Amino acid sequence: MTLARRSLVLLFPLALGCATTPASRPAAVETPTPTPPQAQRVPHEGTLHGAKLVDDYFWLRQKDAPGVVSYLKAENAYTDAMTKSSAPFQETLYQEMLGRIQETDVSVPFRDRGYFYFSRLEKGKQYPILCRRPTAGAAADDRTGATATAPEEILIDANQIAKTNKFVSVGARQISDDQQHLAYSLDLTGFRQYTLHFKDLRSGAVAAEEIPRVDSVAWAADGRTVFYVVEDETAKRPYRLYRHTLGADPKADALVYEEKDEGFVINVDRTRSRGYLLLTSASSTTSEVRYLRAAEPTGAWQVIAPRQHDHEYYVDNRGDRFYIRTNAPAVAGGDKARNFRLVTAPVSSPGRANWKELIAHRDDVMLEDVELFADHAVLHERFDALPRVRILPISDGGAGAAEEIKMPETLFALFGDANAEFSTSSYRFHYQSPVTPDSVYDYDTRTRALTLRKRMPVLGGYDPSHYETARVHAVAADGTSIPISLVYRKGLAAGAAHPNPMLLYGYGSYGISIPLTFSSNRVSLLDRGVVWALAHIRGGGDLGKKWHEQGRMATKMNTFTDFIACGEELVKEGWTAPDRLVIEGGSAGGLLMGAVTNLRPDLWKAVVAEVPFVDVINTMLDETLPLTVGEFEEWGNPKKKDEFDVMIKYSPYDNVAAKRYPAMLVKTSYNDSQVMYWEPAKWVAKLRALKTDRNPLLLRINMEPAGHGGQSGRYNQLHENAFLYSFILSQLGVAR
């Protein structure tokens, strides 16, 4: 391959000035195209199941090695040079996005044990300020804090922490029962490794004791005892539960439980009833729950039901009963309740023999979560690739008929809010859609009245009536119907004389459903005529547990062929065309991008892969890396030949070939703990060495403290979005 073949055309052509008459025109000066860095090829050979595996860029795993750092910086310099002429357009996009945000704002406060809790944003500050105010003076039925007159108390101001740290992420935030102490955790590197701190809310002093690598936290009822889970030092697996007494030396903390199975992680939590602490051990397919009375912190933890392979269950408490969401069959030996059902059991004897069914399993409805309150339960369900919420009245005698909270649009997203109070007839949730900004509602479970508390302001003249949504379907290779959700500016349609520019997003892993949320940033795409689409492909959880099962392990290829079918359908129906179609995905969605780019490079104009998991075989062979062992049940274990044979067929890094590829933007963070930086770096290096086109291939690496989600701070994130959108819009030919 010649050097010329590796050279890339300018992504954003330079605007050359010209004089008013030919006589005065100077001689043309050709601006040189930046030369991409070429990673050194150092073969690293191995053999697995008789197959020879050669990795020419294995050396990029040597984090902090001078040669690695210099190469990554060279990639950033190349990307900067290639996108330098887009700086004015990036600034235009940034100002557009910033102009839609109400920079000084406050959240709707929620009540909890004598306080209103809320967060504030101040113009010019990167982070929200977490606050509370005593409910003294507030009306008994005031759920917004509007009548509260007591002074504000600041719990955490990340802006102060950011004065000496370039990255700040607040993790756990738990307040003791006596309201006098705050346990909170901070990540200051982007590696998602949090350190636990304690703050005296009377004096404002932060205690001297600090506990590293803390994943989850829960207070006992005495206000002095804290249970916390720590990660191991290499694979970041939450595996040990400790008991800590406030003010004591953490080195003396008692080890309460250690999860020995490397395929499981643990989490500690407190029930909303505040009666019990729960310790959940879970893998991708199996779980086990232990419980302890919150008033007896030194007591013995008890098991609800011993773990059994392929049995998942999750627990909450109301009074003298546990409520259990389970996928166990209702009848011994019967079909697995893979979409889950709801049962109850007495606290005194919660074993499976005493489980009593409240909500039966349904093949077409996924029971995703259950929130318990004193006299009702909130059922979070998923049906037809959409969420729904139903209120289930409950009493000591059983349960009544569940009532669905009706939503005003056909495509939308729902999320529960804090809802900290156990005894209440009000349920607060967030509603939004691709055209409706985030809206906070209170639903009265007795009167069924729905009250809008706040809708996120979108400045700059945004009008939701100018946009609309649609749902179309593609047909997969095996005949399965795959939903696709669309949002666009009114006036656009399929089958127009000129196909629409489109951004198609996908994920399709872990049974996760990507919600149809609102994005004020996305308006910058929609107002330029771009159709935004979300492919609800298998591997996700959009149509229940079966959707996940049909896109994992041996059936993982369905995820990629589903996405291709979506792209083909959108082209066939005239929504877009291959030269007007950009695709985007991150993390496991980045794996999707890599796989479909290898399979159908001709179908996409450009590809955006963010923190992409693309080096599947090498990563899943390294059990010291975060997530590897726990994800054997999602991707497979390449040490097993039958699973290796599936994985090697789609692993993006292993399937790069000498052929034409679309334009590509690859983003990562040097300190990412979920997908190590070297995966996208190796992938880009291999693509550069083999691809036969001159399309742009850009790698952007956050070398400053940043994590899986990029930089922290809302203004930093706006700048990152502006860079991303400038690439997308340029490739779509609507950069203006």
Q: Percent of the chain at pLDDT above 70?
A: 96
Give the model's confidence band at 469: pLDDT under 50 very low, under 70 low, under 90 confident, else very high.
very high
Cβ neighbours of residue 389 closer than 8 Å, sequence gap 6 or more: 378, 379, 380, 381, 404, 405, 414, 429
Strands (E), 412-466: 413-416, 426-432, 439-444, 450-455
Give the model's confidence band at 17: pLDDT under 50 very low, under 70 low, under 90 confident, else very high.
very low
272 lies in the same domain as 377? no
The answer, yes or no, to whether residue 612 has pLDDT greater than 50, is yes
291 lies in the same domain as 373? no
Instruction: Catalytic residue, from 316, 672, 719, 726: name it.
Output: 672
Residues spanned by the domain of 430: 364-458
Separation of alpha carbons 631 and 237, rounded Å = 12
Average confidence (pLDDT) over 167-195: 97
Q: Residue 391 domain-assigned?
A: yes
Instruction: Catalytic residue, from 181, 536, 548, 708: name it.
Output: 708
Q: Residue 178 domain-assigned?
A: yes
**pLDDT tens string 571-604:** 999 999 999 999 999 999 999 999 999 999 999 9
**pLDDT tens string 314-361:** 999 999 999 999 999 998 888 899 999 999 999 999 999 999 999 999
The answer, yes or no, to whether residue 144 has pLDDT greater than 60, is yes
Which of 458, 473, 491 is at the close of a domain? Answer: 458
Cβ neighbours of residue 258 closer than 8 Å, sequence gap 6 or more: 239, 240, 241
**DSSP tag of 205:** P
Cβ neighbours of residue 140 closer than 8 Å, sequence gap 6 or more: none
169 lies in the same domain as 297? yes
Q: Residue 731 domain-assigned?
A: no
pLDDT at 145: 80
Average confidence (pLDDT) over 687-702: 97
**pLDDT tens string 616-665:** 999 999 999 999 999 999 999 999 999 999 999 999 999 999 999 999 99
Give the model's confidence band at 26: pLDDT under 50 very low, under 70 low, under 90 confident, else very high.
very low
**pLDDT tens string 394-445:** 988 778 899 999 999 999 999 999 999 999 999 999 999 999 999 999 999 9
Q: Residue 632 domain-assigned?
A: no
pLDDT higher at 495 or 65: 65
pLDDT at 3: 29
pLDDT at 333: 82
Cβ neighbours of residue 408 closer than 8 Å, sequence gap 6 or more: none
Q: Does the annotation mark 439 as catalytic?
A: no
Half-sphere exposure in the Cβ direction for 536 (13 Å, CA): 25
Which of 252, 278, 303 is at the close of a domain? Answer: 303
pLDDT at 265: 98
Q: Does the annotation mark 498 as catalytic?
A: no
Separation of alpha carbons 578 and 568, rounded Å = 9
Average confidence (pLDDT) over 169-189: 97
Q: Residue 425 domain-assigned?
A: yes
Q: Residue 598 domain-assigned?
A: no
The answer, yes or no, to whether residue 188 has pLDDT greater than 90, is yes
Instruction: Catalytic residue, from 520, 587, 712, 726: name it.
Output: 587
Mean pLDDT for the chain? 94
Q: Residue 227 domain-assigned?
A: yes
386 lies in the same domain as 297? no
Separation of alpha carbons 289 and 370, rounded Å = 16
216 lies in the same domain as 288? yes
Average confidence (pLDDT) over 690-704: 97
The answer, yes or no, to whether residue 735 has pLDDT greater than 80, is no
Average confidence (pLDDT) over 356-382: 97
Give the model's confidence band at 723: pLDDT under 50 very low, under 70 low, under 90 confident, else very high.
very high
Q: Does the annotation mark 708 as catalytic?
A: yes
Number of domains making up the chain: 2
Q: Residue 170 domain-assigned?
A: yes
Average confidence (pLDDT) over 267-275: 98
Which of 396, 431, 458 is at the close of a domain? Answer: 458
Tell me, what CATH number does 179's domain have?
A: 2.130.10.120
Average confidence (pLDDT) over 382-400: 92
273 lies in the same domain as 399? no
The answer, yes or no, to whether residue 266 has pLDDT greater than 90, is yes
pLDDT at 31: 62
Average confidence (pLDDT) over 3-21: 26
275 lies in the same domain as 394? no
